[in-house]
Amino acid sequence: MIHPVPKPVKGEKKKKAKPKKSPERELIETIDDIDSIICLIVNDFKCILCGGTANQTHHYFHKASHGAVRFDPDNHCPMDFGCHNFIVHTKGDTEDLRDNLIKRISQPVFDNLKARSKQRADRSISYLKEELDTKLARLDIVVRRYPERLVMLSDAAKKRLDKYFDIKFKKCDPIDLAAQCHGFNGWK
């Protein structure tokens, strides 16, 4: 008589420790996150390709291979999930994206961006800290200028914003929401 082979007993799996990120990587990810939020708010959450509701930011000049313009606002394109993942990344169709980006920033600015994209990127801690301070100041200005657009942020983006400012996202009027922004001095 053949006996079935017993199934192995499943023991507790040890959770693999995530490798610790370098200080440079932490700063870069924080700046990218702030840039994405700024891009969406400034462009009123409109996809640069279809005009739908944007929820992602695309770097026209890829952030890994063109690091010198990684943090440049002119390199950021607000996009919805479908356009970003299907049209740009799956199909690789960037002609309309380029044309719409040029309409938004102008041909001379695009040419300058393209030329700067070929330069070597500075990734020193001092540069990244300075860039982070600049982005936080810009985020503060954007939040004050477009308080009504804050309600369009996803819950995840609101949680991330909470790290950068002491904004408490509750169900309230957008003006009250923006009033909770760090350093708020009142609306003029």
State the SS3 of 50-112.
CCCECCEEEECCCCCCCHHHCCCHHHEEEECHHHHHHHHHHCCCCHHHHHHHHHHHCHHHHHH
Kindly report the pTM of this predicted structure: 0.77
Predicted pLDDT of residue 108: 96
* Residue type, position 72, single letter: D
Predicted pLDDT of residue 171: 44
Backbone angles phi, psi at 61, to 5 degrees: -90, 115
Question: Which has the closest alpha carbon to 35: 64, 68, 83, 74?
Answer: 74
pLDDT in tens, 23-75: 888 889 889 999 999 999 999 999 999 999 999 999 999 988 899 999 999 99
pLDDT in tens, 67-103: 999 999 999 999 999 999 999 999 989 999 999 999 9
Backbone angles phi, psi at 44, to 5 degrees: 55, 35
Predicted pLDDT of residue 22: 85
Q: Give percent above pLDDT 70 in the chain.
A: 82
* Residue type, position 170, single letter: K
**9-16 average pLDDT score:** 67
Sign, Cα dihedral of 142, 146, 148, 152: negative
103/110 Cα distance (integer angstroms): 10
Predicted pLDDT of residue 50: 94
